[in-house]
Amino acid sequence: MRALKIASYTLTNALGRGRDATLTALREQRGGLRPNDFGTDGPTTWIGRVDGIESQALDGPFSVYDCRNNRLAALALGADGFEADCAALRARVGADRIGVFVGTSTSGIEQTERAYRARPDSDAPLPDWYDYAHTHDMFSLADFVRTRLALRGPAMTVSTACSSSAKVFATAWRHIETGLCDAAVVGGVDSLCRMTLHGFDALQLVSSAPCRPADVDRDGISIGEAAAFALLEPAGREDNGTPCILGYGESNDAYHMSSPAPDGRGAAEAMRAALRRAALQAADIDFVHLHGTATPANDAAEDRAVHAIFGPRTPCASTKGWTGHTLGAAGASNALIAAMCVEQGLMPGSLNTTSVDPQLVCRVLTEGKATPVARIMSNAFGFGGSNACLIVGYPT
């Protein structure tokens, strides 16, 4: 496939706002998880919370979009010069020729939770200030981003649980390849809410301690929130020094609503598809950025899938111990951390992992190291067996 260069990108998560905050934390082996302080009704767990969202209300023409999810999106769009880069591209190719494709799992559902809690009794109507279309509706995220960046190209929100914002890179490629747009803003945003905290707790999938991907004593996830955006354009010969999306692969396990196929066959097929599309071999990949949620079942299935493709020698690690599992934002966050690692020559380790499960056969790094990295396979797997894998790196 024709590579897409990552012309600009930005990250905001529990490690801080902007790329430098994430890079510094990765280099300092410093995570962003904290004991759950989101609300007063539990559960007892650790979370990856972004500071300052509560004081960053959207105002003026954007006030109708005001909710935790869109505030988080605004924080990220305002970092790393991303809005200025989008404005420059808009001036060059036109607002109608730039698409917006974003992923989220719950959008602004926290605004709906607030509306329900604001009622004086259970029979009372929702308050007048509640605006479903501009806050909770899945498309509200794409609508907000497109409006904020003054873009008029095709727009879409993809919601396939934790693979959502990896799949938008594939969506963007198809739109560009078929001529529906010349460039695309892609990304993912998911914010903390009671539904996900209590929902995953009810499924007995959250850990009471900071998550430990691939550790022998891992016992669940730490939920986080994040926003990550990238500006994609077709790569030219002059872009050899710019990280690109080289390939993507998508598949579905067709196995279970909330558990992965234990043999990892769906995940493996997505990785194979990404390699085929990029015209690469497994040996061309220097590092696998694992989905690595830290649940026993997910890590075991991904381990089998990665081993089936790469064998026991290719280094791999998860960054969920740094940021928490950011659900619908995880795919874009993983991919853009991968782009950063390619640029900076860095392989992160799996933070909080002290003793790798001996049942896992892949080469899981527990400490990061500075080393040249040309290409990374970045994984994102979601409920319903939805798998998406991206290859990020320099073209051959």
Q: Provide the angle, in degrees to the nearest 10, between the axes of the packed helices 109-118 and 68-77.
A: 140
Catalytic residue, candidates 134, 136, 289, 291: 291
136 noted as active-site residue = no
Rounded Cα–Cα distance for residues 168 and 175 (Å): 10
Rounded distance, CA 233 to CA 244, Å?
A: 9
Select which of 67, 134, 136, 162 is catalytic: 162
Distances (CA, A) of 188 to 12, 199, 245, 343: 11, 21, 16, 21
**340, 19 contact by CB (below 8 A):** yes
| Separation of alpha carbons 394 and 344, rounded Å | 13
Distance set, CA 285 to CA 293, 343, 377, 395 (Å) = 21, 15, 7, 12
Both tokens of 328, joined, read 């619908």
Token pair 């695309």 is found at 184
Closest to 348 (Cα-Cα) out of 319, 314, 309, 384: 319
From CA 341, how far away is CA 373, in angstroms rounded? 7
CB 232 within 8 A of CB 171: no
Residue appearing with tokens 């329900």:
116
> Phi and psi for 71 in degrees, rounded to 5?
-65, -45
- Confirm whether 291 is a catalytic residue: yes
3-state secondary structure of 207: coil
Pair 211, 299: CB distance under 8 Å: no
Helix (H/G/I), strand (E/B), else coil: 317: strand
Q: Which among 101, 17, 7, 106 is positioned nearest to 323, based on CA atoms? A: 17
Tokens 């111990």 found at: 321
For residue 184, list its beta bridge partners: 99, 232
Contact call for residues 192 and 329 (beta carbons, < 8 A): no
Q: What is the DSSP letter of 77?
A: H
Catalytic residue from among 134, 175, 307, 325? 325
Q: Could you list the active site residues?
A: 162, 291, 325
